Structure 1
Amino acid sequence: MHPRGRTAVSMHVAAAVLTVLVSASCSMRPLQGVLVPSSEAVEAASQVPILIGTTRARSSSDPGEMFSREPSSEMAFAQVTVSIPPDGSRKAGEIQWPLSPPGDPRKEFVTASAGYLDRTEFGAAVSSAAKARHLTKTLVFVHGFNNRFDDAVYRYAQFVHDGRLPVIPILFSWPSQGAGNLGSYDHDRKVAGRSGSALTELLDTVNANPAVKEITFVCHSMGCLVTLDALRSRASHGGSVPKLKNVALVAPDIGFDEFISAVGALGPRRPRIGLFLSQDDTALKLSKSLAGGTTRLGDINPQDEPYKSALAQQKILVFDLTHLGGDDSHSRAFGEVGSVMGMIKQRLAQGQQLGEDPSRTASH
């Protein structure tokens, strides 16, 4: 077969596989109305308030969507409180999507409240959450490819709840198409590459809040492109963010060499960086083929060279999640958040420092 013919066939197969991979986890959720608040409350359910900064435009067609896949030139703000059913009625690590909105809070995730905020109201909401819950730490989550706005909100609520995270949760949602096809993958990658400045803006807003003492970033998959760009932008302008202490990259869909170069450019005053990877990440292996064979950071073997030495030189904390198993290797950290938090706590209890050999981190 002619090389061009083989390329066309391989791209066709890749597109088909990509569609299956990215749509499987969203196949059970309703297409509309998820963020319409439910009037029914269940005493044993847990309420998880999510504060939001987004560069998506407001939805004009579905009030239960709030924000669409279309980009906005200005940052918008909102707050959504997600009700999560009692622990005995659900499997931890999973989102129990309502079969039809607004859903049954006894056994499904439902929206308890949702509303738009302006910038001043957003800052006041952060301060109010800090005071009411006696918290000073925020966790800013940046979602990945093929995420609608409601996908990102519910996934983050699940992550915070199942991890029992003592933080003020803040979501940064960039305008992913929320569609599982090759064209959307290419589109999302370009949009992600242009979204770093908006994340920097949100970071500055949170950093300026006196109620916040510490900020951690968690990015997933393609969202790590957004995060690295934001960090590079802040570093290139000679400014540091004293409150930004940690950055966790989960299954990052980034070229390994690109990551090492970006981290090196951040300078010595950068936050602590943790890498959460799975060597069997099927989605990233496909992404590698779409990227012309460029190795993706999120599915390397951290024991192999040149990865081991490069990560050690840059003092990257490595968490290999391969052994955790599960059906969705690309989102393993969210589905197995209890185990992941246990790994982190064990590492801290052992007093491991950033400069230690990453080979020690892979075994825990």
Structure 2
Amino acid sequence: MNAAKIFLTLALAGATLTGCSGAKDAKRAPEEAQAPRMSEQPEPASAVSDEQLKSKKKEKHETVRVFYGTDRNLTGSPHPKTYFGTRRASLSLGFCDVSIPENHEAGKLESPKIWKLEFRENPDKHVVLKSIEPASGSDFLLQLRQTIEESVEVEETPNGLIKVGGEAFIFIHGFNNSFEDAARRTAQIAYDLKFKGAPLMYSWPSQERGSIWAYKEDGRTAQWCEENVTLFIEAIARESGARKIHLIAHSMGNRVLSRALKNISQKLALTQEEEPLFNEVILTAPDIDAQVFKESIAPHIVQTAERFTIYSSSEDLALKASRVVNSYWHQRLGEGGSYLTVFPEYKKINVVDASEIDTNLFALGHSYHADSNTVLSDVRLVFQGIPAGERNLRSLLENLAWKFQSNRSLLGRAIRGTFR
């Protein structure tokens, strides 16, 4: 199947895939609204007024274009913040623009602060979802390929000239995230990594509420959308033209990604393909049953990528709560410290304990993958293919896992006279 056909299939997936289970899910409740057909494209959404568009004032921000796939419903709102809702729908494609202010700090998602008397978003001061533009499969592919091609650069090294850039990464968010949340986070990650290529995201219909009911509903939805996510990430890998494709999942998004990779591994086995489709797969703070992943998922997905990196932390309060909700004895893959899960049978899987990293208390120590500059710097090295032993990490369990060496731990060891 050629590129245009694959992406047309993506765009119209809802006609045959009303969820993960095909015809079976077609009988779901009426509230699971379907997205319009691509021939009935909705109007683009923009947070920028006509007056702002006419203004000649020099912008004090950069704009990051994020390509998206989503199976959220359209609300009918023209505003980017409320353009997509929380109900299940058909798979649709497009791109959105996100502002990064010139005074941006790595790891931050700058937003209006009441104590600063900021009552409105300002792209020159905040990370703002400026616009959303739906696209047909062919337009999506054309724009994506162009972005990837334009990112290729030639660098001089001691070994001669080499090509860099021309890559893509796909971010899959977790529980209690809106489309806007995912877009802002994807753009921030791409900007902070100085990523040379195309940032993409998949936004599944999370409930955007922090209740136990919403958590359990999100768990069901994470399973519902696996076929859509499988279709999306496989098409990107095969048709984008990127030199390298990386995947990043956060929290419950790891359930979504794990199931999709398991589906892809079964296809690879049937076609007897030996080359992995993806380069680096990063599982951050994975809210997934550690035993289930180790016994039922890892053996199947290791052949889909060149390397997997799992970031875990014992200071992740959100995962501690998740373990209680999911029965106390079912530890989560993203827990570190004494609960760290290692994979001695798979050299492709690296486990990094981020317990020593200073985290954002407002995020319950759960978003260190993107709000810690230390972790972001390590992710950048992962994307470059640098082995764990050559990064600023300390070996654990005879290289079965690794740990960040924070300033705090190094200082403590030095005071105790054990610094080596």
TM-score range, shorter chain: 0.7 to 0.9
Percent of aligned pairs with the same amino acid: 24
* 1:18-57 alpha-carbon deviations (Å, 9 max, x no partner): xxxxxxxxxxxxxxxx962353675441211100011112
Contact 1:102–1:110, Cα closer than 8 Å, also in 2? no
Partner of 2:387: 348
Alignment of 1:219-298 (within 5 A): 219-237=249-267, 238=269, 242-261=276-295, 262-266=297-301, 268=303, 270-293=305-328, 294-298=330-334
Equivalent residue in structure 2 for 1:115, among 128, 133, 137? 133
Partner of 1:9: none
Amino acid at match of 1:70: R
* 1:63-86 alpha-carbon deviations (Å, 9 max, x no partner): 3322111111x2101111111111
Paired with 1:360 and 1:98, the residues of 2 have a C-alpha distance of 39
Paired with 1:202 and 1:317, the residues of 2 have a C-alpha distance of 26
Partner of 2:352: 319
SS where residue 299 of structure 1 aligns? coil
Amino acid at match of 1:192: A
Paired with 2:128 and 2:300, the residues of 1 have a C-alpha distance of 43
Partner of 2:414: none
What displacement does 1:94 show?
Answer: 1.8
Amino acid at match of 2:279: K
Amino acid at match of 1:153: A
Equivalent residue in structure 2 for 1:213, among 243, 250, 255? 243
Unaligned runs of 5+ in 2: 1-44, 153-164, 392-396, 406-420
Distance 1:232 1:348, change over 3 A: same
Paired with 1:112 and 1:61, the residues of 2 have a C-alpha distance of 14
Paired with 1:202 and 1:158, the residues of 2 have a C-alpha distance of 22
Paired with 1:234 and 1:342, the residues of 2 have a C-alpha distance of 27
Equivalent residue in structure 2 for 1:200, among 230, 238, 241? 230
Alignment of 1:1-364 (within 5 A): 36-37=47-48, 39=52, 42-61=58-77, 63-64=79-80, 65-72=82-89, 74-87=90-103, 90-98=104-112, 103-134=121-152, 135-209=165-239, 211-237=241-267, 238=269, 242-261=276-295, 262-266=297-301, 268=303, 270-293=305-328, 294-301=330-337, 307-308=341-342, 311-315=343-347, 316-326=349-359, 327=361, 328=363, 329-342=365-378, 345=381, 348=387, 350=389, 357-359=398-400, 361-364=402-405
What displacement does 1:360 show?
Answer: 5.3
Distance 1:267 1:150, change over 3 A: closer
Amino acid at match of 2:335: D
* 1:143-178 alpha-carbon deviations (Å, 9 max, x no partner): 000011111111111121122222310000111111
Paired with 2:64 and 2:351, the residues of 1 have a C-alpha distance of 29
- Give the TM-score normalised by structure 2: 0.70
What displacement does 1:111 show?
Answer: 3.5
Partner of 2:411: none
Which of 237-246 and 325-334 deviates more? 237-246
What displacement does 1:60 show?
Answer: 1.7
SS where residue 217 of structure 1 aligns? strand
Paired with 1:233 and 1:343, the residues of 2 have a C-alpha distance of 26
Contact 2:277–2:305, Cα closer than 8 Å, also in 1? no
Distance 1:340 1:117, change over 3 A: same
Which of 266-275 and 215-224 deviates more? 266-275
What displacement does 1:196 show?
Answer: 1.6
Distance 1:344 1:130, change over 3 A: closer
Distance 1:282 1:197, change over 3 A: same
* 1:129-150 alpha-carbon deviations (Å, 9 max, x no partner): 0122224211000000001111
Contact 1:78–1:117, Cα closer than 8 Å, also in 2? yes
SS where residue 85 of structure 2 aligns? strand
Distance 1:210 1:144, change over 3 A: closer
Paired with 1:330 and 1:304, the residues of 2 have a C-alpha distance of 16
Superposition RMSD in Å: 2.6
SS where residue 310 of structure 2 aligns? strand
Q: Which has the higher contact order (CA 8 A, sep 6+)?
A: 1
What displacement does 1:268 show?
Answer: 4.3
Unaligned runs of 5+ in 1: 1-33
- Give the TM-score normalised by structure 1: 0.80
What displacement does 1:114 show?
Answer: 2.5
Number of matched pairs: 321
Paired with 1:202 and 1:247, the residues of 2 have a C-alpha distance of 16
What displacement does 1:230 show?
Answer: 0.2
SS where residue 259 of structure 1 aligns? helix
| Larger of the two Rg values belongs to structure | 2
Contact 1:163–1:338, Cα closer than 8 Å, also in 2? no
